[in-house]
């Protein structure tokens, strides 16, 4: 039993973070630093090797004993029980394979284990060297795959856009209430979604006071969404998806346009959502016609859903809002860890949004 400031007589799980100094890594550090059953024991950041976390992130002054390490796989495995990989696509796969052989739990926040099909992965991302792990990996959208996650050693944490879209559409597809051939998704993301690396498109002067669509028709989250939407619908689903960059630090909002099957009323739709998410703490359904805003989920692990529509024409509009760095990344990863270790799912995540 580990007795420390987080609790006396509480069994602590040793946690590692690889890629600890990006935006998502920093959120993992923040969330895990207040988790009563997680002890951060190993952090990797080769860019800041040897530097204290508290010097890099003064808001995390309580982590003054944590020092960034270079990637040493044996040391990482020796000092952890579960490892979060907050890395670009293509970088996690070999690290994950090593850790799994050492009996560790792995939660990958990149794209390496989100897709089921090697050909699809390689079309969108390039070569994959660990195809044998595809059947082992569980897609980590907590509200939809909870039972599989409980038994998982390897979790592919969902992308931020897919989280908004899948939670937004799941009740309709499961109950076959909409036409699946003409789903249109208009999504908007804050600039932190592009990561912390230098990119001229995310310089302040380039993205402030403007709004732009990007990667239209070729965004890498599209095959992930179509894969999971097709599972929900039990038939092939194709979508029209357009992402936008907005001058906001964090936050994501997806507006989804669908056509109801004939005879389906808006009241039936609302009840379907209310029933589907009745037991889901982190999914909040607004009253009909009241739509979410990103500020109501900022710095929280909640996904807010709102519905509006035109019953006469059979059109339905779903609005889904999350914090892209939390429910869209680090918070969902911690939620996955809680499920794996059979802890209360909201442990370390039960905090409201910050307002204003």
Which distant-in-sequence residues (6+ apart) come within 8 Å of 275 by Cβ?
171
Phi-psi sector, 234: left (phi>0), alpha (psi -120 to 50), beta = left
Q: What is the DSSP string of 35-60?
A: -TTEEEEEEE-GGGTT-BHHHH-GGG
| Per-residue tokens: 120 | 């699809």
> Pairing between strand 2-4 and 7-10?
antiparallel
State the residue for tokens 């599209």. Answer: 222
Give the Cα separation of 245 and 31 in Å (integer): 26
Rounded Cα–Cα distance for residues 311 and 201 (Å)? 41
Helix (H, G, I), strand (E, B) or coil at 345: coil
- Which residues does the annotation mark as catalytic? 160
Tell the residue number behind the tokens 């918070």, with chain if given.
331
Q: Please report the sign of the dihedral spanned by the C-alpha atoms of residue 108, residue 109, residue 112, residue 115.
A: positive
Which sign does the torsion angle of CA 213, 217, 219, 223 carry?
positive
Q: Return the sign of the alpha-carbon dihedral for residues 123, 165, 292, 301.
A: negative
């Amino acid at each position: 039993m580990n007795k420390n400031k987080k609790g006396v007589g509480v069994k602590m799980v040793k946690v590692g973070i690889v890629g600890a100094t990006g935006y998502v890594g920093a959120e993992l550090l923040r969330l895990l630093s207040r988790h009563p059953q997680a002890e951060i024991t190993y952090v990797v950041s080769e860019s800041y090797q040897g530097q204290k976390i508290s010097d890099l992130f003064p808001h995390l002054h309580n982590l003054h004993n944590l020092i960034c390490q270079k990637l040493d796989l044996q040391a990482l495995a020796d000092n952890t029980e579960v490892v979060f990989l907050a890395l670009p696509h293509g970088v996690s796969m070999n690290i994950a394979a090593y850790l799994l052989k050492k009996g560790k739990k792995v939660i990958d926040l990149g794209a390496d284990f989100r897709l089921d099909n090697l050909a699809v992965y390689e079309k969108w991302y390039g070569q994959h060297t660990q195809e044998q792990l595809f059947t082992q990996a569980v897609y980590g959208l907590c509200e939809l795959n909870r039972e599989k996650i409980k038994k998982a050693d390897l979790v592919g944490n969902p992308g931020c856009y897919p989280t908004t879209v899948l939670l937004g559409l799941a009740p309709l597809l499961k109950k076959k209430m909409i036409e699946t051939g003409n789903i249109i998704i208009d999504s908007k993301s804050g600039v932190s979604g592009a990561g912390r690396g230098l990119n001229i498109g995310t310089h302040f002067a380039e993205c402030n006071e403007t709004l732009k669509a990007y990667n239209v028709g070729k965004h890498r989250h599209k095959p992930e969404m179509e894969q999971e939407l097709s599972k929900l619908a039990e038939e092939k689903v194709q979508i029209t998806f357009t992402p936008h960059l907005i001058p906001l630090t964090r936050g994501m909002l997806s507006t989804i346009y669908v056509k109801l099957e004939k005879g389906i009323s808006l009241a039936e739709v609302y009840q379907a959502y209310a029933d589907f998410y009745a037991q889901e703490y982190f999914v909040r359904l607004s009253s009909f016609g009241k739509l979410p805003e990103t500020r109501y989920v900022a710095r929280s692990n909640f996904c807010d859903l709102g519905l509006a529509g035109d019953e006469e024409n059979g059109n339905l509009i779903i609005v889904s809002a999350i914090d892209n760095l939390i429910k869209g990344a680090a918070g969902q990863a911690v939620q996955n860890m809680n499920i794996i270790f059979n802890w209360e799912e909201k442990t370390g995540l039960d905090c409201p949004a910050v307002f204003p």
